[in-house]
């Protein structure tokens, strides 16, 4: 099993995350940090940021001075602030970061033929077989059909798993489907309005044709439904039976160039984006 862990934080909000800032000298104009009561609850913000991989404590202090750090939506200007790592919402340059070290989340490119389960009494290969003892308490978020490949999230965070899978949080899923037949020109309008299936209506968030050739088409479908076989049933209902189905994204997390069967650990920035998406 090929597992990789990319835990390098990134941001689009300008420079400040590069390793050379770790070596930045103390400026002559630096002032002594104000004294704070060491018995006050929580941990120093600089320590929490350093542990989360944002940078050294000195780099974190520079970022606070520059107004780049916010806690619970408020920009921090004072050094030595204490926060509760379990509840504080911390952002760098407006992008939330994950600061909890006790929970991990992974992305897997699930192959065709693998059951989305931690075990199977019929002896079929499962997601549980693939992850082995990667992390205690790791479980899959939602399911992919045995014949569907692509992005599957796994986490030890039970609340995150619940919210990502629950339909009330409207987490979008993106699929590429290879279908038999030609796609009607106005099908995207029909699918956005909704199609009636035997277990109720379903509509897509977006739909477009990626490629078409010799009676076969590749289409991208984005929806936030989680019902069983929903993409296959939806496309079959409009006369486009699916011959191959791949999930390419869950919310902001994309499959990108992950090879089939590989697993990677999400970065703190990616986990923070998931938390923000579901209101954690």
For the stretch 171-230, pLDDT in tens is 999 999 999 988 888 898 999 998 889 988 999 999 999 988 888 889 999 998 878 899
Which string of DSSP letters, residue by residue, matches 220-253?
Answer: EEEE---STTHHHHHHHHTT--EEEEEEEEETTE
Cα 204 to Cα 103, 144, 174, 185: the distances in Å are 32, 18, 10, 16
Residue 160, pLDDT > 60, answer: yes
Q: What is the pTM of this model?
A: 0.66
Q: Please identify every residue annotated as catalytic.
A: 145
Residues 246-260, mean pLDDT to the nearest whole number: 92
Residue 248: pLDDT above 90? yes
Structure confidence at residue 121 (pLDDT)? 87
pLDDT at 2: 52
pLDDT value, residue 91: 87
Interval 143-158: pLDDT, tens: 899 999 999 999 988 8
Burial label, 255 (beta-carbon count in 10 A; 0-12, 13-18, 19+)? buried
pLDDT in tens, 97-110: 777 666 888 999 99
Q: 30-80, pLDDT tens digit by residue?
A: 434 444 445 567 788 887 887 666 767 788 888 888 899 999 888 998 888
The stretches of 53-180 forming alpha helices (DSSP H) are 57-65, 127-131, 158-165
- Give whichever of 21-25, 90-94, 143-147 has the largest mean pLDDT: 143-147
| Nearest residue to 47 (alpha-carbon basis) of 61, 62, 65 | 61
Report pLDDT for 119.
86
Question: Could you report the per-residue pLDDT of 112-140, keeping only the tens digit for each?
Answer: 999 998 888 898 998 888 888 777 788 88
Give the pLDDT confidence score for residue 49 in this predicted structure: 81
CA atoms within 13 A on the CB side of 202: 23
């Amino acid at each position: 099993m090929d597992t990789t862990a990319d835990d390098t934080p990134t941001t689009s909000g300008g420079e400040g995350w590069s390793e050379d800032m770790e070596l930045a000298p103390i400026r002559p104009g630096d002032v002594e940090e104000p004294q704070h009561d060491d018995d006050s609850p929580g941990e120093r913000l600089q320590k929490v940021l350093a542990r989360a991989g944002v940078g050294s404590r000195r780099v974190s202090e520079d970022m606070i001075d520059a107004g780049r750090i916010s806690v619970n939506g408020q920009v921090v200007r004072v050094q030595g602030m204490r926060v509760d790592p379990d509840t504080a919402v911390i952002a760098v340059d407006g992008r939330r970061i994950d600061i909890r070290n006790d929970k991990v989340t992974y992305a897997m490119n699930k192959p065709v033929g693998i059951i989305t389960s931690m075990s199977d009494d019929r002896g079929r290969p499962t997601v549980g077989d693939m992850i082995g003892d990667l992390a205690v308490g790791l479980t899959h978020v939602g399911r992919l059909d045995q014949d569907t490949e692509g992005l599957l999230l796994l986490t030890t965070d039970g609340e995150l798993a619940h919210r990502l899978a629950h339909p009330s949080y409207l987490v979008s899923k993106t699929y590429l489907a290879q279908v038999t037949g030609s796609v009607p020109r106005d099908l995207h309008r029909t699918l956005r309005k909704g199609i009636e299936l035997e277990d109720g209506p379903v509509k897509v968030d977006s739909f477009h044709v990626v490629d078409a050739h010799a009676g076969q088409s590749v289409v991208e479908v984005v929806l936030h439904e989680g019902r069983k076989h929903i993409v296959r049933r939806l496309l079959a209902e409009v006369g486009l039976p699916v011959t191959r189905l791949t999930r390419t994204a869950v919310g902001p997390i994309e499959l990108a160039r992950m090879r089939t069967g590989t697993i990677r650990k999400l970065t703190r920035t990616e986990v923070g984006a998931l938390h923000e998406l579901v209101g954690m």
